[in-house]
Amino acid sequence: MSTKRIPEIICSGFQVPELGKFSFSVNYRGTRRSAILIRFKGVVYGYLNQCVHMPKRLDCEHSHIFDESGQYLQCSMHKICYEPTSGESISEICAGKKLTALKVTEAGGMVYLMEKRSTAVDFVDKRNTHG
């Protein structure tokens, strides 16, 4: 018999600012990984915090997660850009590759992890990081 996953609280919605991020850790398929929540056009999305170009965090060189235009997620090391709603790379070098999405939902002012392959571990930082 399959057991249904109980949603796990990650943070309150106000901790994920528009065009900003909230960092936390997850056990993803049995391995502790860095993860981020971002808010784009009012909607919260979750991703493992790892560029598809190299195994580095998107924010490895500075805390900004969006490019200067505010339209794309951007790796701080090599400037690889991603669609915020799908995680798909729009940079030629990584065309067709995607960030690993985490299933999250926002309800009642809280953001929940709905991912069957993961459990939230802890918060890396609780600061609102814009940019």
pLDDT over 70 percentage in the chain: 86
Domains assigned to the chain? 8-130 (2.102.10.10)
The pLDDT value recorded for residue 127 is 43
Give the span between the Cα atoms of 22 and 20, in whole angstroms.
Answer: 7
Question: Which amino acid appears at position 130 of this protein?
Answer: H
Per-residue pLDDT tens digits for 36-72 = 999 999 999 999 999 999 889 999 888 889 999 999 9
What predicted TM-score, i.e. pTM, was given to this entire model?
0.87
Q: Quick one: 51 exposed, middle or buried, by C-beta within 10 A (0-12, 13-18, 19+)?
A: buried
Spatial contact of 31 and 126, defined as CB atoms under 8 Å apart:
no
The pLDDT value recorded for residue 123 is 59
Q: How far is CA 95 from CA 29, 63, 91, 99, 114, in A?
A: 25, 24, 6, 12, 28
